[in-house]
Amino acid sequence: MAAANNKAQCFVCNKEKNTYNCKGCTNEFCFPHLTEHRQRIEIQLEAIINDHDQFQQTIIQQKQNPLNSSLIQQINQWETNSIHQIQQTAEECREKVMKSTQKLIDDVQKKFIELSQKLKEIREENEYNEIDLNNCQLKLKQITEEFLQPSNISIRQDLQEFIKKISVISSFDSYQSNRSAISTATISKNPITTNQITTQSQIEQKELQTKKNKFKQFAITVAGGIGKGQGLNQLYCPQGIFIDDNNKSIYIADSQNDRIVKLYLNSNTRQIIAGGNGIGNKINQLFRPIDIIFDKENNSFIISDLGNRRVIQFYDQNQANQQIIIANINCWGLTIDKNRYIYASDCQNHEVRRWKQGDKKGELVAGGNRQGNHLNQLNHPTYIFIDEDYSLYISDSDNHRVMKWKKGAKEGIIVAGGNGEGYSLKQLDHPQGLFVDHLGQIYVADYNNHRVMRWCEGNEEGEIVAGGNGEGNQSNQLNCPMGLSFDNVGNLYVVDQYNHRIRKYEKI
């Protein structure tokens, strides 16, 4: 900083005082504001040093754990998918061989019985000659050859590669002196699976796109947070939420109060728009509502009324205009695609079905193969999310994983967790709320770990974006988070269930 000048106008307070010139920004500051200016510069320096130290730590971790790089993970994923495809094809071939072999045995046995009957007849009648015996012997030889060397069953190997090889292309191989070269892997697309493979330019583009949002760790309470209760300023074990950016409002499934509450974010005005008339199954009552979504086409809301085993549709500020659209279903989570198909997770039947307006029975799109942990099974599915490509994401709660089912798929793939119940970065513990952003990053409420995790498909580990500081009610803690959502500027909203509040984590 330069020495004091004669009196001049301070850049901050615009008052004429003895000022000091900053050579960095060339502005004049009075002494108090000079001190503040200097503090901001020091904070900026600390931030740079912090980023420097974090990057240094990243380098150290990469050197210590080279197998954790994204390229190694791509290779591991290719290996896993290829092995799975080989095993699946082998199983299909075995099944086909067994069916064909059984049919062959049945045909041979039929011919053998006919030959046995012929031999029995000629022996009993005692009327046969050399020609008859030669014919019988020839027939027996034909049956034997047909059984031992079947001509209608064989193994064919296609000339086209089934699992294409991968290769690593590194500019270090050709240009040892080029210290800025980038090493990358190219993996040919498997013609059988839908394994996503990337070229060098695609990897660079993906790295550019996945600039991950960061959030302030000390959240703001936007609803509730003053203990459980029935007052309009209170919540009681809330579950699902929906953010209405157009009206700057948030809709909350206030589960234990059996109601849907609407909160205007700008004014803190609250109103009950559904339920709130005690526990019951009348059209103006709810019983443990869990989730809520919005149908833009007809400006209506859709609620999973779990306690009444139904899904209802209602119109804002008109409780009389409600109808049951899905009955006799233990629906937990809801989502809707751009064609207005409604997806409902059935936590009792361990499946997700898709419904269009007027359907009496939905179409099975995930699970439905009894309770289990195979890739075609679910175990107590809860919250769900549908993306623009109609890929369905499911919090497979009791399997401690998030599954992705592509449109028309017979089984899903694990995109988060799946390593048993636990609190490591590779694990989840009864995941709940789900949201997938436009970059494909998966946000999941990690219920019993009291945190919100972010996973990128193909990564072995997730990262903590909110909470993770133990169970509690402090501003950096959560207590069994449930639903979650985002507003249109990227702020994260989390239902902090047992703190009976909704938390807002502002994007940095």
Q: Which CATH superfamily is domain 218-505 in?
A: TolB, C-terminal domain (2.120.10.30)
Please report the pLDDT score of residue 179 as a whole number: 41
Average confidence (pLDDT) over 220-244: 94
Please report the pLDDT score of residue 211 as a whole number: 59
Please report the pLDDT score of residue 96 as a whole number: 81
- pLDDT digit string, tens, across residues 446-459: 999 999 999 998 89
Q: Which helix (H) or strand (E) holds 107?
A: helix 70-125
Please report the pLDDT score of residue 408 as a whole number: 92
Q: Which range among 66-70, 124-128, 247-251, 314-318 has the greatest average pLDDT?
A: 247-251
Write down how long the chain is: 508
Q: Which tokens hold the place of 396?
A: 């497979």
Q: What angle do CA 500, 503, 508 make, to 5 degrees?
A: 170
Q: Where in the chain is the domain with CATH 2.120.10.30?
A: 218-505
Q: With a cut of 80, say whether residue 286 has pLDDT above it.
A: yes
Lowest mean pLDDT among 24-33, 111-120, 179-188, 448-457: 179-188
Closest CA to 191 of 115, 106, 85: 85
Q: With a cut of 70, say whether residue 64 has pLDDT above it.
A: no
**Angle, nearest 10°, between helix axes 70-125 and 130-148?**
170
Query: Contact, 385 vs 335, CB < 8 A?
Result: yes
Lowest mean pLDDT among 20-24, 217-221, 279-283, 383-387: 20-24
Q: With a cut of 90, say whether residue 253 has pLDDT above it.
A: yes
The SS3 assignment for 349 reads coil
> What phi, psi does 122 have (nearest 5°)?
-70, -30
Residue 141 or 343, more confident = 343
Q: With a cut of 50, say whether residue 195 has pLDDT above it.
A: no
> What phi, psi does 184 have (nearest 5°)?
-150, 165
Distance of CA 59 to the CA centre of its chain: 29
- Sequence-ordered list of residues with C-beta below 8 angstroms from that of 204, at least 6 positions apart, any chain: 182, 184
Distance of CA 500 to the CA centre of its chain: 25
> What phi, psi does 397 have (nearest 5°)?
-60, -55
Query: Contact, 434 vs 443, CB < 8 A?
Result: yes
- pLDDT digit string, tens, across residues 131-151: 777 778 888 888 887 777 776
Please report the pLDDT score of residue 157 as a whole number: 65
Please report the pLDDT score of residue 189 as a whole number: 39
pLDDT-derived band at 106, boundaries 50, 70, 90: confident
Residue 182 or 235, more confident = 235
Q: With a cut of 50, say whether residue 33 has pLDDT above it.
A: yes
Average confidence (pLDDT) over 159-178: 55
Query: Contact, 505 vs 216, CB < 8 A?
Result: yes
Strands (E), 296-391: 300-305, 310-315, 318-327, 331-336, 342-346, 351-355, 363-367, 381-386
Q: With a cut of 90, say whether residue 36 has pLDDT above it.
A: no
Residue 156 or 226, more confident = 226
- pLDDT digit string, tens, across residues 401-446: 999 999 999 999 999 999 999 999 999 999 999 999 988 999 999 9
pLDDT-derived band at 172, boundaries 50, 70, 90: very low
Burial class (CB in 10 A: 0-12, 13-18, 19+), 489: exposed
Please report the pLDDT score of residue 168 as a whole number: 66
Cα(251)–Cα(222) distance, integer angstroms:
12
pLDDT-derived band at 153, boundaries 50, 70, 90: confident
Q: Which tokens hold the place of 224?
A: 């509730």
0.85 cut: is pTM over it?
Answer: no
Please report the pLDDT score of residue 405 as a whole number: 97
